[in-house]
Amino acid sequence: MKLYRYKWVVCFLFFLSSLVNAQEKLVNIYNWSNYISSEILRQFTKETGIKVNYATYDSNETMYAKLKANPHSGYDIVVPSTYFVDHMRRQGMLRALDKTKLSNIKNLDPALLNKSYDPGNRYSIPYFWSSTGIVINTRYHALGQVENWTDFWNPKYRNQLLLLNDVHEVFSIALFALGYSPNDTDPEHIRQAYFKLKQLMPNVRLFSDDAVKSLYLDEDLTLGMAWNGDIYQAMQENSAIRFIYPQDGFIVAIDSMAIPVGATHLDNAYRFINFILRPDVAKKISLATGYASPNQAAVKRMPRAVLNNPTIYPDPKTLERSVIQVDVGAAEAIYQKYWELLKVGG
Amino acid sequence: MNRLVKSSYLTAIYSFFYLPIIILIIYSFNDSSYSLLWHGFTLHWYKQLGDDMALAVVTLHSLEVSVLSATCATLIGTLTATCLYCYTFFGKRLLHGLMFVLIVSPDIVMGVSLLILFFLMKMQLGFWSLLFSHITFCIPFVSVTVLSRLTGLDKNIFEAARDLGASDFMSFKRVIIPMLWPAILAGWLLSFTLSLDDVIISFFVTGPDFQILPLYIYSLVRIGLKPELNALCSVMFIITLFIVGIFQLVLRKKEA
């Protein structure tokens, strides 16, 4: 008798939970960790009455795996980086955006829109952007000594460099040094880049992509590559660190908001994206996290000290040397093959 | 000589266990956001921990799931163990063996298979799917703990209880449960910890509306762990010490 009663209680709970899920005042966001301040989420809920469920990931691959494993996992907004937008839209994992619902899109910097990874921004709206460049500690190396990626090959830096543990970031160095594009798909060029990198290996101390900033900050490493956002944060605690945009070119990555095909709270997702695109909101997020905002109207309102810091906002002339990553398609397998060979020292 | 070897061996083992935790606790007082060098003493991170609503929500989610799943798993697991011990029925050995299979099967197998199950059932991923998964992987640990205690007891006691006219339920309640108490507590604690720190299975089965602490911490690794998390881990460690202390006291009283 008792068991029967409990069965109904369980059924009732199920019913309740399904009610909660069906309620539409809700948006599910899956974003990089440290990419927002909780104050902004509270402000959104206060203004719109929409509850935000916010989950975080550490890499594009994690987010991709989660969506791939279950396309109806319920996320309404994800934030893939440049070539992952390309990859995911080709696989039909993203929904084409209805721009009429995004009135604030006019605030975005046209220089960061309509790139080859997503022509016309049909699937993605920029959230943050960042550059990969050279980090140098001026206590150990004179400024001006390292201006190009090719300077990494100098034998005097034996066993000193930190390289990011990412196949495309690392190959981009060699491809830039050889005068090719970091998005090169020619197998011969990739092979040449591999041999170029093999020559660099004696200078490499470490491949790492987690907590890179602590390594530079504590001067465990004094020279290498990094993302500008990390270095901006490290510079707050160690003034000897400098970020350099290499003369021979550098990669710019744009992390973009996109709506997965399985999203269920479409209207709320559009409202959230439009909210993020508002200048005052974009400014707050950028200042709270230290990453560069693609929102022109927001950038105009930034404090002078931030605007004049080239680590976050390089001037337009520097930006002319930048290249945006795209999906290399079938060449990915070639990159992976040489990447593994490089790591095992073959 | 022998004594020296013994004590140095123990010291080595215990420092291997506890040194990382002590270092973590020390660093929770370090006055620097990302640096791993010592920059002076501060309580700033504990204060920030108190103010961080997002982290509090995630931690509460984790505790909620762990307490619920540990409790359910303990109930089911204890019954299972008693069943396996007291009764003979068809397929008993198979069931017993299958329990061990679950214990040794890799988390990733469990995570993916549960995900497929929920997918086929068209069940929305979130709190319920997470809870069911955690209960599932905790049950075998409880039953094995309880069963090993049961086999160590004198079987005649249960037969005596029945001889004296106790029904199955009565002997379960009045004889078996009191004697199993330490094992049940141990099983609960084991499930609680397993559930609290599970990353792999949770990654697959949790949904967008239910983020839990281990996944949150994991997502921060690449960006750089905040000392705030060191503070949180220190607090959790102290609470754990406290709970274990209480359990030890309770158990000692029972034994006495």
**Mean pLDDT across A60-73:** 86
Size of interface A-B (CB pairs under 8 A): 100
**Mean pLDDT across B43-56:** 86
B39 to chain A, closest Cα gap in Å = 10
CA distance B256 to B251: 9
Q: Do residues A244 and A226 touch, judged by C-beta distance below 8 A?
A: no
Contact state of A56 with B216 under an 8 Å Cβ cutoff = yes
* Residue B254: predicted pLDDT: 67
The domain B58-221 having CATH identifier 1.10.3720.10: the answer here is: yes
Residue B112: list chain A partners with CB under 8 A.
69
B224 near A CB under 8 A: yes
A193 pLDDT exceeds 90? yes
Contact state of B220 with A58 under an 8 Å Cβ cutoff = yes
Q: Do residues B146 and B74 touch, judged by C-beta distance below 8 A?
A: no
B172 near A CB under 8 A: no
For A114-148, write each residue's pLDDT tens digit: 988 999 999 999 999 999 999 999 999 988 889 99
A12 pLDDT exceeds 70? no
Residue A234: list chain B partners with CB under 8 A.
34
CA distance A151 to A177: 9
A11 pLDDT exceeds 60? no
- Closest Cα in chain B to A17: B128
- Closest Cα in chain B to A61: B219
A137 near B CB under 8 A: no
A233 near B CB under 8 A: yes
- Closest Cα in chain B to A36: B54
A4 pLDDT exceeds 60? no
* Residue A8: predicted pLDDT: 52
**Mean pLDDT across B64-88:** 92
**Mean pLDDT across B171-198:** 89
A13 pLDDT exceeds 70? no
Residue A326's pLDDT band (boundaries 50, 70, 90)?
confident
Of A128-137, B165-174, B178-187, the one with minimum mean pLDDT is: B165-174
For A214-269, write each residue's pLDDT tens digit: 899 989 999 999 999 889 888 988 899 999 999 999 999 999 999 999 899 999 99
A188 pLDDT exceeds 90? yes
Cβ count within 10 A of residue B132: 16
Residue with tokens 């006691």: B157
- Amino acid type, A268: N
* Residue A23: predicted pLDDT: 52
The SS3 of residue B246 is: helix
- Closest Cα in chain B to A60: B219
Residues 6+ apart with CB under 8 A from B165: none
Contact state of A53 with B208 under an 8 Å Cβ cutoff = yes
Say what the pTM is: 0.81
When CB atoms are compared, the residue of A29, A33, A53 closest to B223 is A33
* Residue B174: predicted pLDDT: 86
CA angle centred on A178, ends A174 and A183, rounded to 5°: 65
**Mean pLDDT across A147-163:** 93
* Residue B72: predicted pLDDT: 96
Domains identified in chain A and CATH numbers: 26-127+255-314 (3.40.190.10), 130-252+322-344 (3.40.190.10)
Residue A9's pLDDT band (boundaries 50, 70, 90)?
low
When CB atoms are compared, the residue of B35, B215, B222 closest to A217 is B35
Most distant pair of Cα atoms in chain A: their distance: 83
Q: Do residues A27 and A265 touch, judged by C-beta distance below 8 A?
A: yes
* Residue A19: predicted pLDDT: 46
Contact state of A237 with B220 under an 8 Å Cβ cutoff = no
* Residue A63: predicted pLDDT: 92
B167 pLDDT exceeds 60? yes
B197 pLDDT exceeds 50? yes
A189 to chain B, closest Cα gap in Å = 31
Contact state of A214 with B34 under an 8 Å Cβ cutoff = yes
A98 near B CB under 8 A: no
A310 pLDDT exceeds 50? yes
Contact state of A59 with B52 under an 8 Å Cβ cutoff = no
Sequence ranges of the domains in chain B: 58-221
Residue B37: list chain A partners with CB under 8 A.
218
Which residues between 40 and 59 in chain B have a beta carbon less than 8 angstroms from any beta carbon of chain A? 52-54
Beta-strand pair A26-32/A51-57: parallel
CA distance A277 to A53: 19
Tokens describing residue B83: 């069943």
Residue A3's pLDDT band (boundaries 50, 70, 90)?
very low
When CB atoms are compared, the residue of A38, A58, A62 closest to B54 is A38
Contact state of A69 with B224 under an 8 Å Cβ cutoff = no
Contact state of A33 with B220 under an 8 Å Cβ cutoff = yes
Residue A104's pLDDT band (boundaries 50, 70, 90)?
very high
CA angle centred on A126, ends A121 and A127, rounded to 5°: 155
Closest CA to B148 of B99, B195, B110: B99
Q: Do residues A50 and A266 touch, judged by C-beta distance below 8 A?
A: no
Share of chain A above pLDDT 70, in %: 93
When CB atoms are compared, the residue of A17, A26, A211 closest to B224 is A211
* Residue B157: predicted pLDDT: 85
For A262-295, write each residue's pLDDT tens digit: 899 999 999 999 999 999 999 999 988 888 999 9
Most distant pair of Cα atoms in chain B: their distance: 71
Residue B199: list chain A partners with CB under 8 A.
none
Secondary structure letter of residue B154 according to DSSP? -
Contact state of B209 with A69 under an 8 Å Cβ cutoff = no
Contact state of B221 with A211 under an 8 Å Cβ cutoff = yes
Share of chain A above pLDDT 90, in %: 64
Long-range contacts from A46-49, C-beta under 8 angstroms, 24+ separation: A47/A275, A48/A268, A48/A271, A48/A275, A49/A25
CA distance B149 to B172: 15
Q: Is B256 exposed, middle or buried (0-12, 13-18, 19+ CB in 10 A)?
A: exposed
**Mean pLDDT across B82-93:** 86
Q: Do residues A235 and A311 touch, judged by C-beta distance below 8 A?
A: yes
CA distance A149 to A146: 8
A346 pLDDT exceeds 70? no
Name the most confidently modeled range: A18-22, A305-309, B85-89, B140-144.
Answer: B140-144
When CB atoms are compared, the residue of B37, B204, B222 closest to A58 is B222
* Residue B125: predicted pLDDT: 87
Contact state of A17 with B128 under an 8 Å Cβ cutoff = yes
Share of chain B above pLDDT 70, in %: 98
Residue with tokens 């990915």: A332
Contact state of B223 with A28 under an 8 Å Cβ cutoff = no
Residue A212: list chain B partners with CB under 8 A.
224
Beta-strand pair A223-227/A125-137: antiparallel
CA distance B232 to B55: 9
Beta-strand pair A241-244/A125-137: antiparallel
* Residue B114: predicted pLDDT: 93
CA angle centred on B130, ends B67 and A272, rounded to 5°: 115
Residue A38: list chain B partners with CB under 8 A.
52-54
